Amino acid sequence: MSKIEQKSIDLASQQMLKKAEAEGIQTVWDRLEEMQPQCGFGQLGVCCSVCSMGPCRIDPFGEGASLGVCGANADTIAARNLARKIAVGGSAHSDHGRDVVNTLLMCAKHTAHKKGEKGHSHDYEITDEKKLKELAQEFGIDINKDINKIAEEVGNLMLSEFGKQKGQLLFIKRAPQKRQEIWRKTGIIPRGIDREVVELLHTTTMGVDNDYRNLMLTGLRCALADGWGGSMIATDLQDVLLGKPVPVRSKVNLGVLKEDQVNIVVHGHEPILSEMAVKASRDPALVKLAKEKGAKGINLVGMCCTANEVLMRQGVPVAGNFLQQELAIITGAVEVMMVDVQCIMPALEQIASCFHTKLITTSPKARFPGVKHIQFSEERAYEVSKQIIKEAIDNFPNRIKERVNIPPQSMDLVAGFTKEIIFQILGGTYRASYRPLNEGIISGRLRGVAGVVGCNNPKQTHDLYHVELVKELIKKDVLVLQTGCSAIACAKAGLLVPEAAEQYAGRGLQEICAAVGIPPVLHMGSCVDNSRILTAACEIIKEGGLGNDLSDIPAAGAAPEWMSEKAITIGFYFVGSGVFTVIGAEPFAVLGSKNLTDYLTKGIEQDVGAKFAFAEEPQEMARLMIEHIDRKRKALNLKPVMYEEQLQVKS
């Protein structure tokens, strides 16, 4: 493998890496190399800077200090560090969720005024009234009233969930009874995320919690408050406001950028603005303006989780995943990269300055010194979006044609799978049901289900771990559910089209995919949409025949290339919900504490019925997941997997 092939398996990315090298442009891979050797204490989780008696570090070889100045040992230090990351990851998702609730409330309060009337002060509307009413009924809100009143009541109730001090989150009731009992017994039934984050952070400050297990239990409760609270609220209310996704075809990879059009990349996480930007990019007056500037049109594409959001609901093409954000700019063909929050590399400013690309920040929470900021406001969403699109159009003549190099790769994909859509596609509109999925698993046609999610990390060959793991799983008749950058990786490899079943899936999965016309890998959205995987798992239990708890299902999770604190939180709410989860890349920086490592990979199972595993290679990840799925099949006394010995895989 050449050095560039070691960086990424994606041909489009390789082409851009060659260009970066030729033009002397530094990327994330160069910075990683420059950073070597990275701090070994940090990697093991035994470095502490919680108070100013430190920073302290524990010698993992037992030759130097075994205690910090305060007396904290490696277990306490590593557990506190990890707990803080859980709090940060949960905060990111849930703060996103809160903004969605505020938009719904604003929408409900001002929709009494029709568009164009004095008093109408926004550009949103309640797109999915049915889902809103279902949510209202779930919470016991009377639906025999004006839709905006329902939205206001649902919005206020959801907003109060964030700060809920006592009791439990409303969505907890969605979990199987047995799961709720486990949470109650273990003392991790979550209250509001604001409450849980504050308590978790409190326990990690100097001189509070010194028990690694207790720190992890508090961490689990915080993560559950995100998965079954902030993130779930974000997903459900985004569906209400912007519409529930339905299966949609689109394209993915850098080849979606267009040489003859104004290219705008929307990057970040919150769809509230990017949905409006999609609308503005189709505004006839702006398209006309783009043509006057010499472009054939306006091409808006997505990056990272914002891409997943606008893909799921609008079919907008995806330019790439986390490690491709710099590479998109290096094509020389991006007029504007518009960013909001999360996973936006600080390096973008530097890379954009090498080209004509304008980086535009939009969130008051995320700014770069000296970078153009056009602040988003829900009240002026369309106006702000048009302003940003106009910036891009005006920048089109500044593009230097000789520096444009757009890779040809763009792959077809199908996205837009939700808990509700799985009902319909499997059972049909009139008999919507999870029965066929459960029957598929019970009969052994399907081995089980896997959730493969998370980021990219330059420490690993870009996309390789996602793609190899998912190929191995579908080959063994495991239906794969995906979100985030992992879904984008597999989409680029051609796994998210129905035809992929014939090429890559085992015979049982092939039969299911052919019968209902789905890909073997279902794209369920952005990282907050991991909540869709939780609710789909609840439907499997409700349908019957596969146990009483989420931990009974022949299912497993994985984050093969994770890098963000958000992925840690997701891992904790997966495990906390009973899903065995394999972690690739870095083992959460816990190896400096044997006790903590043992707890996460063994002891935690006694508390929540699931555990983590750390693995380096995709084949090993697949083996661990399949072994777990098979163990669960055995525990349920299911028939053997139907086509175990007769794999029909072509490659």
Q: Which residues bind ligand BF8 (CB under 6 A)?
A: 269, 304-305, 322, 343, 454-455, 484-485, 526-527, 564, 566-567
Shortest spacing between CB 487 and ligand BF8, in angstroms: 9
Angstrom distances, CA of residue 277 to CA of 336, 382, 450: 12, 7, 34
Helix (H) or strand (E) run with residue 95 in it: helix 74-110
Shortest spacing between CB 180 and ligand BF8, in angstroms: 27
For tokens 């709410």, the residue is 573
Comparing CA positions, the residue from 436, 466, 461 lying closest to residue 450 is: 466
Cβ closer to ligand BF8: 188 or 485?
Answer: 485
Cβ closer to ligand BF8: 305 or 449?
Answer: 305
Give residues with Cβ within 8 angstroms of 603, minimum separation 6: 213
User: Looking at 217-373, which runs of residues are DSSP E strands?
Assistant: 248-252, 262-267, 298-303, 318-320, 336-339, 358-361
336-339 and 56-57 as β-strands: parallel, antiparallel, unpaired? unpaired
Shortest spacing between CB 254 and ligand BF8, in angstroms: 16
Shortest spacing between CB 561 and ligand BF8, in angstroms: 9
Shortest spacing between CB 231 and ligand BF8, in angstroms: 10
Cβ closer to ligand BF8: 484 or 571?
Answer: 484
Shortest spacing between CB 304 and ligand BF8, in angstroms: 3
Peptide bond connecting 587 to the previous residue in cis, omega within 30 degrees of 0: no
Cβ closer to ligand BF8: 12 or 567?
Answer: 567
Cβ closer to ligand BF8: 80 or 566?
Answer: 566
Cβ closer to ligand BF8: 552 or 565?
Answer: 565
Peptide bond connecting 458 to the previous residue in cis, omega within 30 degrees of 0: no
Cβ closer to ligand BF8: 448 or 454?
Answer: 454
Find out whether 311 and 250 touch, Cβ atoms under 8 Å.
yes
Helix (H) or strand (E) run with residue 567 in it: helix 565-576
Cβ closer to ligand BF8: 193 or 512?
Answer: 193
Where does residue 11 rank: exposed (0-12), middle (13-18), buried (19+ CB within 10 A)?
Answer: middle
Comparing CA positions, the residue from 558, 562, 617, 614 lying closest to residue 590 is: 614
Shortest spacing between CB 229 and ligand BF8, in angstroms: 17
CA dihedral 256, 385, 334, 283 (to 10 degrees): 60
Shortest spacing between CB 408 and ligand BF8, in angstroms: 24
For tokens 């997966």, the residue is 574
Distance CA 172, CA 179 (A): 9
Find out whether 619 and 465 touch, Cβ atoms under 8 Å.
no
Helix (H) or strand (E) run with residue 562 in it: none
Lookup: tokens for 486: 């992992």
Distance CA 155, CA 161 (A): 10
Shortest spacing between CB 441 and ligand BF8, in angstroms: 27
Shortest spacing between CB 239 and ligand BF8, in angstroms: 18
Shortest spacing between CB 602 and ligand BF8, in angstroms: 27
Lookup: tokens for 454: 């998370």
For tokens 């008696």, the residue is 53
Shortest spacing between CB 321 and ligand BF8, in angstroms: 6
Distance CA 407, CA 411 (A): 12
Cβ closer to ligand BF8: 418 or 569?
Answer: 569
CA dihedral 319, 325, 326, 329 (to 10 degrees): 40
Cβ closer to ligand BF8: 91 or 510?
Answer: 91
Cβ closer to ligand BF8: 322 or 423?
Answer: 322
Cβ closer to ligand BF8: 88 or 143?
Answer: 88
Cβ closer to ligand BF8: 555 or 585?
Answer: 585
Lookup: tokens for 216: 């992890």
Cβ closer to ligand BF8: 218 or 564?
Answer: 564
For tokens 């938009």, the residue is 103
Shortest spacing between CB 19 and ligand BF8, in angstroms: 23
358-361 and 336-339 as β-strands: parallel, antiparallel, unpaired? parallel
Give residues with Cβ within 8 angstroms of 81, minimum separation 6: 45, 47, 48, 589
Where does residue 312 rank: exposed (0-12), middle (13-18), buried (19+ CB within 10 A)?
Answer: buried
Cβ closer to ligand BF8: 261 or 486?
Answer: 486
Shortest spacing between CB 223 and ligand BF8, in angstroms: 14
What is the length of the chain?
A: 651
Give residues with Cβ within 8 angstroms of 161, minimum separation 6: 169, 170, 192, 229, 233
Distance CA 487, CA 416 (A): 11
Shortest spacing between CB 108 and ligand BF8, in angstroms: 27
